[in-house]
Amino acid sequence: MSNKGAELERVSKASLQGACIGDILLAEKKLNELELNRVIALQKKENILFGEAAISLGIVTEEDVRSALASQYSYPCVLSDESKLSRELLAVHDQLSSSAESFRSIRSGLMLSRVGHAIRTIGVLSAEEGDGKTFVASNLAVSFAQQGARTILVDLNFRRPRVHELFNLNNNCGASSLIIKRALQEQAVKKTSIQSLDIMPSGPKPPNPLELLGWNETLWVIDALRDTYDFVIIDTPASSKSADARLISTMCDGAIVVASKGVTKTKSFSTLKKQLDETNVKILGAVLNEIVDIRKT
């Protein structure tokens, strides 16, 4: 979809905020004028909600009504396709939780930090494996998309990629394919059931991750995505295992550093911060991950 088309779609969605459920279903072509009048008649007769009446008449489904309610209150809802996504995506499956609210707070802080600065590409780093950077990067990307920002989550962890698992995607084509020019951008980018969110999985595992990331083509890929999307969120390998993450962060407008409560060692975290400072990487903030009952990387 072109930038103009995406903008028109966002405007159209925004115009449904506060509208009646019937008008929303009508605008989304879930029912016609004749069916609308039938639903209203039953609603008045039985003194029930419009959605209940429409469902009982078999005109719309429960999912149609949930979607209309989400549009009415400008709030995302989990549709059937999204039920296939990993439970780690709390911003999708548990939107009213304190954890999901924390990601929205992080999103707000990052958007405020953009004032006077061009921050569009964000690397998500951690010192150790298991700190939760994929968990944070994925939920943060979803949160940006839920606000209507054109967002892409890029998996540049060529050593232990997991983004495709969280979003239930095939990983046979992705970032590595694009960097070595074995695929076009439209082939490497995957659409999701979440409006405004695209995914670029890691692609086939290269034998030389660090060398591949050092190619000019990697920077060109990131710059091209920066010109296409409002936000580019990049997942990276653990910095203690390789220099990949530090190299990736130099190509970004800024970086978020993730630490896991009770797991991340102070020394390794301090080492990572020092390395980022030495390479003049802009540290946008640190996230303390307190989720312990969900698999994280």
The tens digit of pLDDT for each residue in 22-75 reads: 888 888 889 999 999 999 999 999 999 898 999 999 999 887 887 787 777 666
Q: What is the pLDDT of residue 9?
A: 44
DSSP one-letter code for 148 = T
The tens digit of pLDDT for each residue in 1-32 reads: 444 444 434 434 444 444 688 888 888 889 99
Q: Which residues of 16-52 are buried (b: 16+ CB within 10 A; e: fewer)?
A: beeeebbebbbeeebbeeebbebbeebbeeeeeebbe
Q: What is the pLDDT of residue 146?
A: 87
Rounded Cα gap, residues 206 and 204, in angstroms: 6
Contact present, 50 and 43 (Cβ < 8 Å): yes
Contact present, 99 and 106 (Cβ < 8 Å): no
- Other CB atoms within a 10 A radius of the CB of residue 5 amount to 9
Q: What is the pLDDT of residue 4?
A: 46
Q: What is the pLDDT of residue 32?
A: 94
Residue 32 contacts by C-beta under 8 Å, 6 or more apart in sequence? 26
| pTM value > 0.85 | no
Query: The domain at 80-289 falls in which architecture?
Result: 3-Layer(aba) Sandwich (3.40)
Contact present, 276 and 249 (Cβ < 8 Å): yes
pLDDT-flagged residues of the chain (< 50): 1-18, 80, 293, 296-297
Q: Nearest to residue 99, comparing CAs of 297, 233, 291, 292?
A: 291
Q: What is the pLDDT of residue 64?
A: 83
The full set of domain ranges for the chain reads: 3-72, 80-289
